[in-house]
Amino acid sequence: MTDSLTLDRYDFSILRALQDDARMSWVELAERVSLSPSACQRRARLLHDRGVISRFTLDVDLQAMGYDVEAFVAVSIERQNMKYAAEFRRAIAGLPEVRDCYMLSGSVDFMLRVVAPNLRAFGSFIQREILNLPGVKDATSSIVLERIDTDSSIVPTG
């Protein structure tokens, strides 16, 4: 692998296997992709160093932890003063209820994925934390009724 954008079939196999179970041992990974454990470890490290693997994380079931409300919140901010966007980004980065944040083009400036233990806590969070941020013009919420699992595996087959 000389080019950071060139991945071979082994790299794609390693990525698919790690997406299924990033906790598997190098030996288990080697068996799944038909390489030696040391080759798998070396390739995985290189994929990480090149930014193909951005991080290894733990996926927590938030509902099992008592967060029964998940919502998407579309936030619009005052466009006349761009410092509001920077302030907004800094402020929401420290809010544990905000699981994801995306800056968007179009009529909505930011889309947040927010979790809360219940509707009352969610409403309070929006009032207290989001609508009180400087420059926030509007926040519109859509409550998630059902999460539909999709195949988030790597699309290219390599």
For the full predicted model, state whether its pTM sits above 0.85.
no
pLDDT of residue 2: 41
**Residue 34 Rama label (left phi>0; alpha psi -120 to 50; beta):** left
pLDDT of residue 62: 87
pLDDT of residue 89: 92
CA gap 29, 37 in Å, rounded: 7
Per the CB < 8 A criterion, the answer to whether 67 and 115 are in contact is: yes
pLDDT of residue 153: 64
**Digitized pLDDT (tens) for each residue of the chain, 158 residues in all:** 444 468 899 999 999 999 888 899 999 999 999 999 999 999 999 999 999 999 887 778 888 999 999 999 999 998 777 889 889 999 999 999 999 999 999 999 999 999 999 999 999 999 999 999 989 999 999 999 998 887 766 655 54
DSSP collapsed to 3 states, 126-141: HHHHHCCCCCEEEEEE
Instruction: Tell me which amino acid residue 21 is.
Output: D
pLDDT of residue 82: 80
Q: What does DSSP assign to residue 34?
A: T
pLDDT of residue 5: 64
Measure Cα distances from 6 to 2, 44, 142 in Å.
7, 14, 40
**Residue 26 Rama label (left phi>0; alpha psi -120 to 50; beta):** alpha
